[in-house]
Amino acid sequence: MLDHICSRHLYANDRMLIAWPGDQHAVIVAIWRHDRSSGDVYDVLLEHLGLEALTAEREKPPCCDEYGLPPVDPKVATAIVDALDRGRRTR
């Protein structure tokens, strides 16, 4: 599932996480800090997706394929957005 999320560096430690439900449709999943602290954007994402935090250094493969196209998957994009929305409503 995480291989369907692209990260873009913004300013300083801010990151924008993006998922693609369609060829011409991107969803900004989150904009938050990435500073390896509690509450880091990836920790929040993993928590809401019900995945365990990574203990080893994560690989940082490019999110786009060899043709420069993003990882389009409507089911995965919807699952990510729904999980974050459910988590947001319970906080």
If one compares 86 and 70, the residue with the highest pLDDT of the two is: 70
pLDDT digits (tens, 9 = 90+) for 21-40: 998 899 998 887 677 666 67
Q: What is the average pLDDT value for the chain, to the nearest integer? A: 79
pLDDT, position 74 = 92
Q: Among residues of the chain, what percentage have pLDDT more than 90?
A: 10
Contacts (Cβ under 8 Å, ≥6 apart) of 36: none
End-to-end CA distance of the chain: 23
**Does 54 have pLDDT greater than 70?**
no
